[in-house]
């Protein structure tokens, strides 16, 4: 597929990568907490607000342009995320000027440990490819009907893979999150991310409909090579 034939593909790619880098810069440093009437106290990392949006973009790309086009964007996002993580480490590691007194605050905001950054990269790639694969296969199985089953079904798998990889890889035996609490955190984050995807379903529908109309494409991955490590169609 020659993606340069499409008007909006590059814009969607740019938006996808922007969301990932923003999540990496803004999300990890803040832990939020709400006391909800039914569920009680809910604690979560602010990054939970960003990554479901990335999965939404993954759904849109696969549904409109196909798995191969989505694969290119996932790797572009992976490269952008890796570069942002590396440069954050470099900037934090630079020796501060004697008169600059904000190093500790800067380290808290941008100094994610290498283990957390690496876990994020692995979980992101695995989750996004699982999401895109399921989305593409379900489109064939459903013959392009019942879009909501694909967007939600693929997200359940993708977010599940992402969450169950990230938290153990990042925090098992780390002393940050008790090991006995890890699975509870995984489930809570998974439910929160999936909930965001469900809430955004009407918007996802509108964007997909707009792109299919404007690009004059509705791709089915009937002959696609699903190897995530190749750029061949």
In a domain, 38, yes or no: no
Task: Give dist(CA 176, CA 190) in Å, integer.
Answer: 19
Look at residue 233 in the predicted model and tell me its pLDDT: 67
If one counts every other C-beta atom within 10 angstroms of the C-beta of residue 232, the result is 8
Look at residue 178 in the predicted model and tell me its pLDDT: 81
Look at residue 44 in the predicted model and tell me its pLDDT: 64
Alpha-helical regions (H) of the chain: 9-26, 51-65, 67-93, 103-110, 114-141, 147-171, 182-199, 201-215
In a domain, 115, yes or no: yes
Look at residue 31 in the predicted model and tell me its pLDDT: 66
Question: In b/e form, how buried is each residue of 37-71, taking b as 16+ CB within 10 angstroms?
Answer: eeeeeeebbebbbbbbbbbbbbbbbbbbbbbbbbb
Find tokens 């895109």 and name the residue.
132
Beta bridge partners of residue 100, listed in sequence order:
none
Q: How many domains does the chain have?
A: 1
Look at residue 26 in the predicted model and tell me its pLDDT: 72
In a domain, 221, yes or no: no
Task: Give dist(CA 206, CA 209) in Å, integer.
Answer: 5
Look at residue 54 in the predicted model and tell me its pLDDT: 86
Look at residue 36 in the predicted model and tell me its pLDDT: 67
Inter-CA distances, 106 with 88, 102, 109, Å: 10, 6, 5
SS3 35: strand
In a domain, 74, yes or no: yes
- Which uninterrupted H or E stretch holds 38? none
Q: What range does the domain containing 185 cover?
A: 3-30+46-215
Task: Give dist(CA 21, CA 2) in Å, integer.
Answer: 26
Look at residue 216 in the predicted model and tell me its pLDDT: 94
In a domain, 206, yes or no: yes
In a domain, 224, yes or no: no
**Cα–chain center distance at 78:** 10
Residue percentage of the chain with pLDDT more than 70: 88
Look at residue 146 in the predicted model and tell me its pLDDT: 93
Look at residue 109 in the predicted model and tell me its pLDDT: 72
pTM, entire model: 0.88
**Residues 6+ positions from 154 with CB-CB distance below 8 Å:** 58, 59, 62, 130, 131, 132, 134, 135, 138
In a domain, 127, yes or no: yes
Q: Answer whether 47's CB lies under 8 Å from 27's CB.
A: yes
In a domain, 222, yes or no: no
Look at residue 188 in the predicted model and tell me its pLDDT: 79
Pair of tokens at residue 145:
């009907």
SS3 222: coil
Look at residue 173 in the predicted model and tell me its pLDDT: 86
Pair of tokens at residue 186:
């995984």
Task: Give dist(CA 188, CA 156) in Å, integer.
Answer: 13
Look at residue 57 in the predicted model and tell me its pLDDT: 92
**Segments of the chain with pLDDT less than 50:** none
């Amino acid at each position: 597929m020659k993606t340069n034939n499409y008007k909006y593909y590059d814009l969607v790619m740019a938006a996808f990568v922007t969301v990932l880098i923003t999540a990496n810069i803004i999300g990890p440093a803040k832990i939020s907490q709400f006391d909800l009437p039914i569920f009680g106290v809910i604690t979560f990392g602010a990054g939970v607000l960003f990554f479901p949006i990335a999965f939404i973009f993954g759904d849109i790309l696969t549904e409109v342009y196909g798995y191969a086009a989505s694969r290119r964007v996932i790797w572009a996002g992976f490269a952008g995320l890796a570069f942002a993580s590396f440069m954050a480490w470099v900037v934090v590691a630079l020796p501060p000027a004697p008169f600059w007194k904000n190093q500790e605050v800067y380290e808290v905001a941008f100094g994610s440990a290498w283990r957390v950054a690496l876990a994020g990269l692995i979980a992101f790639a695995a989750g996004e490819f699982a999401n895109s694969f399921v989305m593409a296969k379900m489109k064939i199985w459903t013959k392009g009907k019942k879009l909501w089953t694909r967007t939600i079904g693929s997200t359940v798998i993708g977010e599940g893979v992402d969450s169950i990889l990230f938290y153990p890889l990042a925090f098992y035996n780390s002393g940050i999150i008790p090991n006995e609490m890890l699975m509870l955190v995984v489930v809570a984050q998974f439910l929160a991310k999936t909930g965001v995807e469900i809430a955004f379903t009407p918007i996802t529908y509108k964007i997909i409909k707009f792109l299919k109309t404007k690009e004059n494409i509705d791709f089915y991955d009937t002959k696609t090579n699903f190897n995530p490590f190749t750029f061949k169609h």
